[in-house]
A and B are shown apart, each in its own frame.
Chain A
Amino acid sequence: MLVFALRRLLQAIPILLGVSLVVFGLVHLAPGNPIDMLMPPEASPEIVAQMKAAYGFDKPLYVQYLLWLMRALHGDFGLSVFNATPVWGQLVTALENTFILAILGAALGFALGIVTGLIAALYHGRWPDKLASAIATAGVSLPHYWCAIVLVLACAVLHDWLPAQGMGDDSLPIWQRLDFLVLPVVTLSLIPMGVIGRLVRATVLDILGQDFVGALSAKGLTRWPVLRHIIKNAAPPVLALMGLQFGYLLGGSILVETVFNWPGSGNLLNLAIFRRDIPVLQATILVLATFFVLLNLLVDIAQAAIDPRIRR
């Protein structure tokens, strides 16, 4: 087990290096030098050169990469080109906000998904199954940014139930600030609900279809040994998908954060793109992708801990 965990950890290192290379390389997809684009056209060549030197854009590419990587490993992503504040500080605040949404969204989505999936599997072929499957499929095909708009429409425009955007003032009491969370969290929970719901249904049906459980009626499910058997067999794939989905919520919240004007990492990324703020952009993508890799790693290890067959 320990060997497996260590080996997976070692395997993650080249992937992370590759990720850093891609993130660094992305910047050079854009034509021209980032500084040229940022400086007003009338800026004197000396000033441009000075800026380039200050941000290290004058060195050869591989030197730039190594320097950037070494600094990044120490959490130093330099200064924002836009407002000259440290990137790391901005990123940490934004990540905290994103995390709040992702964790709550995931928790809600997973809970709903497991419940709908179980209901669908237990009533296989009958109307609760059809309804739950329809909900799950709809959840998967929902453009969540549109969903966000519809929710705002329903809860903030047509009725005055909840705030439409932002995360509220620090001065507000905590229970009022919680109101701001409701719509984004519900929006984010829809996709994980659909995806997990479908997988739970399929996995449980698969397990129920196997001879040794098949003899048991749906009622038997409530009995502990049967339930334990199902959990033990369904957990690894469901867990893996949950990890993946949580990663998508973390790294993919850019659209939802934009709609709700939520000051998270997605919003930061969006702003960085439009401001061509390269250091912020690189740092955000790199950190989010790193989270994603580490999350997958954790899921793999957790899976192996539950089901020894997975260890190689």
Chain B
Amino acid sequence: MSAAITLDPRDRGGPAQPLLSVDGLKKYFPVRGGLLNRQVATVQAVDDVSFSVRKGETLGIVGESGCGKSTTARLLMRLMDPDAGSIVFDGDPVGERAGITVNEMRRQMQMVFQDSYTSLNPRMTMAESIAYAPRMHGTPRKEAFDRADTLLAQVGLNPRQYARRYPHELSGGQRQRVNIARALALEPRLVILDEAVAALDKSVEAQVLNLLGDLKSRFNLTYLFISHDLNVVEYMSDRVMVMYLGRVVETGPVEQIYRRPRHPYTRALFASKPTLDPDRRTTEMPLTGDPPNPINPPSGCRFRTRCAFAKDVCAQSAPPLAAPLDGEVADGPPHLVACHLPEAQAAMGANTHA
């Protein structure tokens, strides 16, 4: 599934070295209140998240609303500073003396935001928005605007028609294409797509997804694809990472996770997924209740309060990400799951194909 890797002059470690690897990322937001407006609690938005992204692959991140997907993306872009954890980009630690600076990283890593309208400056034309970042990095005006025209064409918008329009004069799908073009203007290697198609109509969504696929192979891109739409993630991703309340609960190749999810949360998530395929109908109980408050997450395994299999051990310690306990080993990238209980992992509702 992973795209063939042609050599990029900026490639440093070769195809085997992950493009991005994240270790122990943490972000706690203070919650203020009380009489003196002091910090009374913390939201553990991202708690000890580690993963890596290989060159040329698409890593999908899924999870319920509020589980910390966007926070992770913003931490990666350094739009906010992490409380702990390290980010290594193609072998270079980011923001450390031995590695590359945040700005150097940002030239190689870009992000597309969910809301196509608010992520464009309403007072700039499409061409101005796209040319903006290169110009700020010193590209001459003429060259930057020529490049903007080329990019517009590459995302399927006629530059003669759209270059001089303002955001409110475009449709949501067209604007999102412009946002993608803008992200590509700095010629990044990794693009983070945070719910990039979530606000679009289904038909437009499909077009944009296809465009993303084309661009990926054309520019040798690596994607971090964040979405709560399981079908879209399945369509786009090579590997999937499932998050719950700021932690990673399961990760692995897309076929394995979709065919045989091990974590009870992943299974419940999939059970609530709308599907037309009768083979995929499940007997698993869908998720009930709201996710627990991230301000006071449960001890140990965070899913235990909604888990049908929860035992004492689940309250005592947080399960580490590890190979599934049933011993089944597949080729390729490892399938890892954070669950103490073999019986919970093995519980086969019916996510198997008939």
Q: Give A contacts to B, CB under 8 Å.
A: 3, 6-7, 10, 312
Contact = CB atoms under 8 A, between A and B. Distances in A.
Contacts, number: 10
Task: List 6 A-B pairs, minimum CB-CB distance, nearest first.
Answer: A7-B35, A6-B35, A3-B35, A7-B37, A10-B35, A10-B36
A10 B36 CA distance: 8
A307 B34 CA distance: 19
Contacts of B37: 7
B34 A3 contact: yes
Contacts of A6: 35
Contacts of A312: 33
**Main SS of chain A's interface residues?**
helix
A312 B33 CA distance: 8
A110 to B, nearest CB: 33
Interface centre among B33, B34, B35, B36 (most CB of A within 10 A): B35
A27 B248 CA distance: 63
Interface string B216-234: 0000000000000000000
Nearest to B33: A312
5 contacts: A3-B34, A3-B35, A7-B35, A7-B37, A10-B35
B250 to A, nearest CB: 38
Interface in B35-83: 35-37
A7 B37 CA distance: 8
B315 to A, nearest CB: 32
Nearest to A3: B35
A16 B248 CA distance: 50
B38 to A, nearest CB: 11
Nearest to A9: B35
A312 B34 CA distance: 9
A311 to B, nearest CB: 11
Contacts of A10: 35-36
A5 to B, nearest CB: 11
Interface in B173-201: none
Nearest to B36: A10
Contacts of A7: 34-37
